[in-house]
Amino acid sequence: MKIELGPLSRIEGHLNVKTTVTDNVVVDAQCVGEMFRGFEVILRGRDPLDAQQITQRICGVCPYAHAIASSYAQEIAYGITAPANGRILHNLIQGANHLFDYLLHFYQLSALDFVDITAIANYKGSDPELVQVRDWVKAELASKKAFPGAPFLPRLEGQYLKDDDLNIGALKHYIEAMEMQKKANRASAIFGGKFPHATGIFPGGCTQKPTIDHISAYQALIEEVRDFIQQKYIPDLLAVAHGFPDYWHIGQSRGGFMSFGLLPFTPASDSRRLFASGLVLDGQVQPVDFDLITEDIKYARYSSASGLKVNEGELTPAPEKNGAYTWIKAPRYNGQMVEVGPTARILVDYLQGNNPQVTTLVDRFAGMAGIRAEELNSVLGRHLCRAISAVVIADFLLAETERIDPGAPAALELEIPATGEGFGATEASRGALLHYIRLQNHKIEKYECVVPTTWNCSPRDDKGNPGAMESALIGTKVANPAVQIESVRIVHSFDPCLACAVH
């Protein structure tokens, strides 16, 4: 039986997933990116300083990660290093964006896969926001349609949390989380200029000069967000995990893991980072070599050569290509499929024991859930690793504000050389993000982005091996093949962003 899950909702962009189900087991899955974009073509021949602005338009959710990756790549191409303040402001802007994104993903994009929204119909209290939602949900239940402005119903058939107090409490936090996202975005905008697409992030620093007022405003906002993460997000996630323990074993991808590292400690963009860079294969962590990354396109709608390295990358669209089923390329590391994202980020640190806070948090939460670190490769594992990332990042950002020197410069005067090239790598919220720039005559000759969701939603490679999400779906038992709430929970756990994947 062939079932298409698309159009998938509660994700970013246009994703379809085609499944084949036999005897209530998903035996095949194809991730389909449905829209061509072409940012790398747009960038050719332009002023290099357009790059960190234009690549931010790839996405409205993780724009700063693109600006940061682009800035790192340009810093290497120009042979410059940001001043200490510049790097700290980069970190403050990017880190706050991670906090926004994790809250958005857990509450708005995933929680209602588990939390029973219909429980609110029994709400007898007087909280005006909950009363409003109760009335919307009752109207939706009566009409069996989504009510304008309230995208709660209809929903997929399946088991949801049974405890009304938990369900209603999580719903209250769903509403509060939007306020917290606003605060995280305000914090980024203090130094970046605005959200979503920051005007202030540049190679070599940030155009905003940090003042004591800026710093204390940023601290106040991030402290509120950190408290929400610790007091509400973590307990809500643990309640979901307690209600759905099977999901520690559902949705395992069948390859390696890779992180590029996040939040450098010192100005050099290749400095040691709060989250380390690394590749996990067979439980062992190795260094990452960008030269081993290639992109296959046998099943993607492009006619350029397959298996090219990032610095050779091409983008020639071929919408009618025979056998192709997606606009997403298939990146591979030394020919291997890897998953990127929160589980990769946490595993790289946990397996090396190089971040005591990560070790403590993984051990504590894994102990509470009765799981081993290997089970972080699962639906719940991805959710937990996002939450651990949020705790660690929030603490780091507050410490980082203390390191700003308000009198010192935060940016460099830039002179664009005629030639040069550079890789810029960071962790976007959804995982490993790589930009490559090459200059000729002071202009961009080549620009390539290899993006987290391109890895996770990749199609088969040239050898026929599936991408991370495809592999996580294959083998899944589904109670109702026509609905597949299990598969949708797996897809949501990756937090796919198709705007990024097909950039």
The distance of closest approach from Cβ of residue 200 to ligand NFE in the complex, given in angstroms and rounded to an integer, is 19
- Are 376 and 363 in contact by the 8 Å Cβ rule? The answer is no
Rule CB under 6 A: is residue 451 a binding residue for ligand NFE?
yes
- Interacting span for ligand NFE (CB under 6 A) from 36-44, 163-171, 382-390, 492-500: 492-500
- The residue within the footprint of ligand NFE, chosen from 51, 120, 410, 428 (CB under 6 A), is 428
CB under 8 Å, gap of 24 or more: what pairs does 189-194 form?
Answer: 190/214, 190/217, 190/218, 190/221, 191/89, 191/92, 191/93, 191/218, 192/64, 192/93
Side chain identity at residue 111, one-letter code: A
Rule CB under 6 A: is residue 468 a binding residue for ligand NFE?
no
The distance of closest approach from Cβ of residue 98 to ligand NFE in the complex, given in angstroms and rounded to an integer, is 8
Helix (H) / strand (E) containing 341: none
Rule CB under 6 A: is residue 59 a binding residue for ligand NFE?
yes
d(CA 389, CA 226): 12
Alpha helices in 428-497 (DSSP H): 452-456, 468-473, 485-494
Residue 500 Cα distances to 18, 42, 167, 287, 449, angstroms: 20, 15, 32, 25, 9
d(CA 318, CA 78): 34
The distance of closest approach from Cβ of residue 69 to ligand NFE in the complex, given in angstroms and rounded to an integer, is 8
d(CA 312, CA 305): 10
The distance of closest approach from Cβ of residue 499 to ligand NFE in the complex, given in angstroms and rounded to an integer, is 5
Rule CB under 6 A: is residue 40 a binding residue for ligand NFE?
no
The distance of closest approach from Cβ of residue 12 to ligand NFE in the complex, given in angstroms and rounded to an integer, is 5
- The residue within the footprint of ligand NFE, chosen from 134, 273, 430, 489 (CB under 6 A), is 430
Rule CB under 6 A: is residue 62 a binding residue for ligand NFE?
yes
- Are 220 and 107 in contact by the 8 Å Cβ rule? The answer is no
Helix (H) / strand (E) containing 503: none
Find where tokens 């940030």 sit.
206
Rule CB under 6 A: is residue 391 a binding residue for ligand NFE?
no
- The residue within the footprint of ligand NFE, chosen from 55, 294, 453, 476 (CB under 6 A), is 453
Q: Quick one: which of 206, 114, 128, 203 has its CA closest to 167?
A: 114
The distance of closest approach from Cβ of residue 449 to ligand NFE in the complex, given in angstroms and rounded to an integer, is 8
Rule CB under 6 A: is residue 99 a binding residue for ligand NFE?
no
- Are 140 and 150 in contact by the 8 Å Cβ rule? The answer is yes
Rule CB under 6 A: is residue 434 a binding residue for ligand NFE?
no
DSSP state of 481: T
- The residue within the footprint of ligand NFE, chosen from 263, 380, 410, 500 (CB under 6 A), is 500
Residues of this chain, 120-159, that bind ligand NFE according to CB under 6 A: none
Give the nearer residue to ligand NFE in terms of CB position, either 234 or 433: 433
Residues that bind ligand NFE (CB under 6 A): 12, 59, 61-62, 65-66, 428-430, 433, 451-453, 497, 499-501
